[in-house]
Amino acid sequence: MTTGLSCLGSIDPYLKTMAEQESEYVKLISSDGFEFIIHREAAMRSGTMKNMLSGAANFTESLENQVTFRDIKAIVLETACRYLYYKWQNEGSTTEIPEFVIEPELALETLMAADFLDCKYFWSPSKLHSLL
């Protein structure tokens, strides 16, 4: 017997539609157990999550639509989620994009998370200099 989403299309088109809707979101779990449910499209703005969630890689995360971060606390993961939405919403904008605000006390942890998550342009050199 086949398991997983690949068999849903042969069982019932309605079930496949439900599975596709569920995969529209992903659950991100912080090291301290907090859960964030965000749009998959927003999560894909992170190079690391894009690799984990793409079906071709066959990571467990792509099958479960869930990523656990053992080294990222909730307060930092929340900032990362806000940034992913900010990036998704402002991509291709032809108007001036407002600055993304990061709490100074979270600067170092957020920088490390941004590096791990491969969030390009999360930090500009001038922003980093102003926070440190």
CB 78 within 8 A of CB 103: no
Q: What is the residue extent of each domain of the chain?
A: 5-131
Query: Is 121's pLDDT higher than 80?
Result: no
The better pLDDT of the pair 64, 4 is held by: 64
Give the count of beta carbons closer than 10 Å to the beta carbon of residue 56.
Answer: 7
Q: What are the Cα distances from residue 34, in Å, to 71, 78, 89, 129?
A: 13, 9, 24, 30
| Rounded Cα distance, 115 and 120, in Å | 8
Structure-block tokens of residue 6: 């690949």
- Pairing assessment for the beta strands 25-29 and 35-39 based on DSSP bridges: antiparallel
Residues 28-50 have pLDDT tens digits of 999 999 999 999 999 999 999 99
How confident is the prediction for the chain on average, in pLDDT? Answer: 79
Q: 78: exposed, middle or buried (C-beta count within 10 Å: 0-12, 13-18, 19+)?
A: middle
Reported as type and span, the H/E element at residue 66 is strand 66-68
The pLDDT of residue 30: 97
Q: What is the CATH number of domain 5-131?
A: 3.30.710.10
